[in-house]
A and B are shown apart, each in its own frame.
Chain A
Amino acid sequence: MYQALLTRRYLFSKIMPLLASAAVMLCTAMVIVVWSVMGGFLVMLLNSGKSMIGDVSITWPVQGIPHYQDLVARLEADPAVDAATPTIETLGLLGLPSTDLKPVTVVGVEPEGYHRVTGYRDRLWWRPLEEPLARDAERADPRLESPEMAGWLEDGARLAESDGSAGLRPAVALGIQVTEYNNERTPEGFFRTRYYDMPEREVTLSVLPLSRRGVAIEAAARRFPVANEFHSGLYQVDAEWVVVPLESLQQMLRMDSARKLDPVDDVPRIERDPETGREVLIPPEGGELSPARATTVLVKAAPGVAAAALRDRCKEIYAEFRALHKDAPPAEQHGLIFTWEEKPGLKVFISAVKKETSLVLVLFSFISITAVFLIFAIFWSMISEKTRDIGVLRAVGASRAGVAWLFVRYGLVIGIVGSLAGAALAFVIVTNINPIHEWLGSALGLWVWDPRVYYFDVIPNKVDPVRAGIVVCSGIASSALGALIPALRAAFMDPVRALRFE
């Protein structure tokens, strides 16, 4: 009882306990901010990696997987699989309306299936928007009340646009930062075009078909209208990817269905047209039909199925598929089927980020130990100052344990006040970290978060309540620990000497 009264009085009667609380607050806030940003970065990385390549990839670059339609059908028939879709990934050159040429990653997709596996349609940027973004108080987002947005969204979703007659013309979707010179990101979080709207422009896409031995054949170039632009949040994807219809890319890369011809026997014939009397070239009729190919089949797991379990199931399904299609890559080929976490490059990167997060956390935790010593020092000096009070309390019957509890409790209160204030401060900082970062950048030129380094164009801004709880509890425990030894010193103080202390 008396401990509660004295704790309350001690807390607000001196500046030192408030400074100790402030130290605990800053340490707590620092650890929560670091853990939220680094941990959030890792979570964003994992989620983005997963969403861009599905849960499992079956990949055979260059030559591609023939009969992929059968493989997709077999996969989708399995209860462990939610959806599967073929894609082709290759490098290309993009001729922009500004006449610039930009190296890009060209991804051929079937829009419907690609959306079912990756949620592609939800990432299309230009779409009708009824409500502005949270920070767009002035409703300046060009997507608001813009009549052409619905058409752009439809075109982007089907990767085609109307050619004016009844037909559809294949179109491409660009990552929103492929044309960084044109799309400017505002502090409010939306994109504003500087010169023109990309969905009303055309681009030229050049790719290099390869033979089955990986030898370059004649480059193929084709003009495409831009149907829409997409924003995945993963900087590398948004700055480098161009999504095109699978069929168009297959044709450009010569991976579409075709007949195999013998260069000696299967030659075209020249015949005279009986009606016109002109000579026409008749293609050879013989030769085996070579099926269309895709370099990758992306597979999305059914709800509740782990990626590793899906990978194993995909291996079984692929083995059955390979038994029927001998021209497909061998099932035992190393690196053919992998989960999103096992993707070459990504695995090493994720591991590095995990280690970096742990390292930073350990370093900041060490720094936070200074708070323990600070509280220790403050309590040690305070107990010297309060020696006579301790003597008085013992004289009126307070036990040693009671006196010790008074100061441990005091440390706990400092820890609770400081840690909760630190958690609140961290919450404010983390949830506003992007505007803070933008302000630091524009006012002081301090751009800490480079999207080219950290992959994402926004800093993670979510506080994990469990992690915050762990840090708060640690802060409270550290404060109690810092107060413990001084409290024991107070408890075992000779009351007579304490009363005589001057």
Chain B
Amino acid sequence: MKPAVIISAHDLHKTYRMGRVGVPVLRGVSLDVAPRECLAVLGASGSGKSTLLHLLGGLDRPDPGRGAISYNGRPLGGMSAHKLDRYRASEVGFVFQFYHLLPELNVMQNVLISAMVLLGRTGFARRGSALRRSAEELLDRFGLAQRLRHRPAELSGGERQRVAIARALINEPALLLADEPTGNLDQKTGASILDALMQLRADRGLTMILVTHDASTAARADRTVRLVDGVLEPAPALQGAAQ
């Protein structure tokens, strides 16, 4: 019996145009991810890992008529722009390799910005206190309780990534999409970030899709697939788990 699926992709194709030339990045990617599962997508630079993550997160769309993604059975392709915005705000949390914090905002504001986008003025005003407490708890858990008023420029790489994770989780999404979350960190810091992610995943029952070029990072996942030339292959060490 097939397990329940939170997000599935079927025969995804994505081609980028470089002038008049089309460069295919994904060439028929299909995958199913179960709730609470942690899937690692392993691949070399330029293999299309980030593109796959962007498609799954609703930031980008596959080539017209060439592939479909559904979240909890609802096809993303059929969603209006407004619904897709809501999907990204409430169901998905993004973590990027280069953190992508807003430099003008302090740590607390960077975390709360996602909640502001989701709830709007009145919603945020109503739930502002609870959200601030929630943000403080998350940041405290990441050892950043004393850095709430600091700007990103005043933080180390590991601290910035923790802030980015807190931002991704403040709206309590069901799906966390992490794009090389340790790719810009030293081994020790990267390991601690992964520990934090895994702990959060366990505590909150998160589904996580982790793209990485590092096999040791991928090894922390429940299941690993390899993206080669725009096509998913089972990872050698986890042959049976891959599709």
A interface list, Cβ under 8 A from B: 1-2, 4-6, 9-10, 13, 388-389, 391-400, 402, 494-496, 499
Contact = CB atoms under 8 A, between A and B. Distances in A.
B25 to A, nearest CB: 11
Contacts of B85: 397-399
A9 B120 CA distance: 18
Contacts of B90: 397
28 contacts: A1-B116, A1-B121, A2-B116, A2-B117, A4-B121, A5-B113, A9-B104, A9-B105, A13-B104, A389-B102, A391-B100, A393-B113, A394-B59, A394-B88, A395-B57, A395-B88, A395-B94, A396-B89, A396-B113, A396-B118, A396-B167, A397-B89, A397-B114, A399-B85, A400-B81, A495-B59, A496-B51, A499-B100
Interface of B: 51, 54, 57, 59-60, 81-82, 85-90, 94, 96, 100-102, 104-105, 109, 113-114, 116-121, 124-125, 167
B122 to A, nearest CB: 9
Contact of A5 (B51, B100, B116): B116
Contact of A6 (B102, B120, B121, B125): B102
A396 B170 CA distance: 11
A402 B104 contact: no
B120 A1 contact: yes
A375 to B, nearest CB: 19
A70 to B, nearest CB: 77
A280 B116 CA distance: 114
A65 B101 CA distance: 89
A219 B74 CA distance: 109
Given A496-B54, A496-B59, A393 B105 contact: no
A400 B117 CA distance: 12
Contacts of A397: 85-90, 114, 117-118
Contacts of B101: 392
B96 to A, nearest CB: 7
- Among A2, A6, A394, max chain B CB count under 10 A is at A2
Contact of A496 (B60, B86, B89, B100): B60
- Among A389, A392, A499, max chain B CB count under 10 A is at A392
A6 to B, nearest CB: 7
A5 B113 CA distance: 9
Contacts of B120: 1
Contacts, number: 74
A402 B85 CA distance: 11
Contacts of A400: 81
A398 B117 contact: yes
Contacts of A389: 102
Contacts of A402: 117
Contact of B114 (A6, A10, A13, A396): A396
Nearest to B121: A1
Contacts of A396: 88-89, 94, 113-114, 117-118, 167
A440 to B, nearest CB: 43
B132 to A, nearest CB: 14
Contact of A1 (B57, B89, B104, B124): B124
A470 B206 CA distance: 56
Contacts of A13: 104
Contacts of A398: 85, 89, 117
A2 B59 contact: no
Contacts of A10: 104
Nearest to A13: B104
Given A2-B116, A397-B118, A399-B81, A499 B96 contact: yes
A496 B86 CA distance: 17
A400 B80 CA distance: 12
Given A1-B116, A1-B119, A496-B59, A399 B104 contact: no
Contacts of B88: 394-397
A242 B112 CA distance: 79
Contacts of B81: 399-400
B109 A5 contact: yes
Contact of B82 (A2, A4, A399, A494): A399
A393 B117 contact: yes
Nearest to A400: B81
Contacts of A393: 113, 117
Contacts of B114: 396-397
Nearest to B96: A499
Contacts of B82: 399
Nearest to B93: A396
Contacts of A495: 59-60
B216 to A, nearest CB: 26
A2 B119 CA distance: 10
Give the top 9 A-B pairs by smallest Cβ distance, nearest first: A397-B89, A9-B104, A2-B116, A1-B121, A397-B88, A1-B116, A396-B114, A399-B85, A392-B100
A414 to B, nearest CB: 16
A478 to B, nearest CB: 25
A13 B105 CA distance: 10
B112 to A, nearest CB: 9
A499 B101 CA distance: 11
A389 B88 CA distance: 16
A398 B171 CA distance: 14
A13 B86 CA distance: 30
Given A5-B116, A6-B105, 14 more contacts: A1-B121, A2-B113, A9-B109, A10-B104, A388-B100, A392-B100, A394-B59, A395-B59, A395-B88, A397-B86, A397-B88, A397-B114, A495-B59, A496-B59
- Among B51, B86, B118, B125, max chain A CB count under 10 A is at B118
B18 to A, nearest CB: 13
A2 B121 CA distance: 8
A384 to B, nearest CB: 15
A396 to B, nearest CB: 4
A25 B48 CA distance: 50
Contacts of B167: 396
A396 B102 CA distance: 12
Contacts of A1: 116-117, 119-121, 124-125
Nearest to A399: B85
B97 to A, nearest CB: 10
A6 B109 CA distance: 10
A399 B100 CA distance: 18
A461 B87 CA distance: 59
A349 to B, nearest CB: 56
Nearest to B128: A1
Nearest to B86: A397
Nearest to A394: B59
Contacts of A399: 81-82, 85
A491 to B, nearest CB: 11
Contacts of B113: 2, 5, 393, 396
